[in-house]
Amino acid sequence: MSLPAYEPVLLKYANQRGMHTLEAYLAHGGYGAAKKALTTMKPAEVIQAVKDSGLRGRGGAGFPCGMKWSFVPPPDRVPGPRYLCVNADESEPGTFKDRYIMEGDPHELLEGIIIACYAIGANTAYIYIRGELVLAAKILEKAVEEAYRHGALGPNALGSGFRVDCTVHRGAGAYICGEETGLLSSLEGGRGYPRIKPPFPAVVGAFGHPTIINNVETIANVPHIIERGAAWFKSVGPSDDPGPKIYCISGHVKKPGYYEGPMGITIRSLIHDYAGGMMDERPLKAIIAGGSSCPWIAPDKIDTPLGFESLKKVKTMFGSAGTIILNDSVCVVDAMWNILRFYAHESCGQCTPCREGTGWLAQIFERIEKGGGREDDIATILDVCDNMRGKTICVLSDAAAWPVQSILDVKNYPDAAIFRPEVEAHIREKKCPMGKHAPAFKEAVRQHGRISPRLVV
């Protein structure tokens, strides 16, 4: 097999060394799209162009970007400032694409920010970047400085008379701040607690004012749409779910990494054409298509195209395009325990179903893995999941329950029939059949009364 003919758009320059400077960006026509938008188009025309392109948010939910922008109420209805927040809190396990845009081509992002600000009438933009990404934050801060000096940012952005200010705001290691309202709470200087919606941020957002929150990759697409037109964008990949896309692939493949291609390449193509095939030629056991919160799918779904609509059809999600590949050496219970430990650690603790549910699930999976499985465990797990879904302020709780249900709930997830027997075997045999963890349950109970409470991490 060979790669489809495709010229990178988002990472064209990011993949080349030294192209992160303003000088390099200007040399290949940078800030031309922003100038075009700000000086020759009306904000409504910019929004219409993005709507026409069919660009869907790249942060996880896949919400149509242009439509989101149009939710900002007109100034006569809600006066006062508007804000743009760029979500660079990339934390979904399996996802690592935004980092490379910010490190390799930060001005591409800034140009998108200028255009987006103009479209929604925001004079201020904040880039909320996760605290761990120190290098990316430094590069971005430098780029912002350069952009101010160039006059792309500031009171008279690119000579248009429109003011755009941009600030890089560093987070400090909380997954929940990637949730849009958690991000706002954190931006305002508080604990990263998500807020109840409605009101949606587009109406009541940062500092109580209308705010649009977009993912880095979404914003990075905007200058290209303005420059080349909505029709061009629609022609890349499937027309109902189009555009250039950065895929992340990790786990058991020969060349894990990030690859740009058109939307809608198949999982098979991503594994074999881009990532060099399965590691050690071992067979595929499970696919997590879009990041750790996505329901698992079985190997027979390998020819499914990666896209928001196509993956919905096989009962999973495209999420933030963080494909994790598991081969036959993986123990389903062990891997799920790892995922659940993550969610238990990252739950903000506001809502009981999530705070308790994620911890319970992690503990039950740990117990099963270590040989302490009980007959009614699966029923208990599904009951807990049921109480976690749709009952909390944000979807972290759902995100923890989805993968679990996808391996156990045969009624709603057909592929659970593939994975469930392995969990049952753990419980029946009172040990991990793959020998990942030696039975420790009885011994641990004897010593401590119970096994490790909350987490190893």
Give residues in contact with another protein (CB under 8 A): 81, 90-96, 99, 130-135, 165, 167, 169-175, 186-192, 207, 248-252, 256-258, 292, 322, 324, 326, 330, 335, 338-339, 342, 345-346, 348, 456-457
- Of 90, 78, 120, give the one whose Cα is nearest residue 212: 120
* Residue nearer to another protein on the CB measure, 298 or 339: 339
Question: Rounded to a whole number, what is the distance in angstroms from the first to the last CA of the chain?
Answer: 42
* Residue nearer to another protein on the CB measure, 92 or 217: 92
Q: How far is the CB of 42 from another protein (least distance, A)?
A: 27
Q: How far is the CB of 135 from another protein (least distance, A)?
A: 7
CA distance 347 to 392: 11
Q: How far is the CB of 194 from another protein (least distance, A)?
A: 13
Q: How far is the CB of 385 from another protein (least distance, A)?
A: 19
3-state DSSP assignment of residue 455: coil
Q: How far is the CB of 45 from another protein (least distance, A)?
A: 29
- Beta-carbon count within 10 A of 227 CB: 15
3-state DSSP assignment of residue 153: coil
CA distance 319 to 60: 4
Q: How far is the CB of 93 from another protein (least distance, A)?
A: 4
**Edge-to-edge strand order for the sheet containing 83-88?**
165-170, 124-129, 83-88, 211-215
* Residue nearer to another protein on the CB measure, 155 or 159: 155
* Alpha helices, H only, 304-395: 308-313, 332-346, 352-369, 377-388
CA distance 367 to 332: 14
- Which is it for the CA torsion 113, 119, 122, 128, positive or negative? negative
3-state DSSP assignment of residue 457: coil
* Residue nearer to another protein on the CB measure, 174 or 381: 174
3-state secondary structure 396-415: HHHHHHHHHHHHHCCCCCCC
E strand residue ranges, 137-268: 165-170, 211-215, 244-251, 257-262
* Residue nearer to another protein on the CB measure, 118 or 337: 337
* Residue nearer to another protein on the CB measure, 230 or 317: 317
Q: How far is the CB of 199 from another protein (least distance, A)?
A: 18
Q: How far is the CB of 122 from another protein (least distance, A)?
A: 13
* Residue nearer to another protein on the CB measure, 225 or 401: 401
Burial of 165 (0-12, 13-18, 19+ CB in 10 A): middle
* Residue nearer to another protein on the CB measure, 159 or 277: 277
CA distance 119 to 67: 12
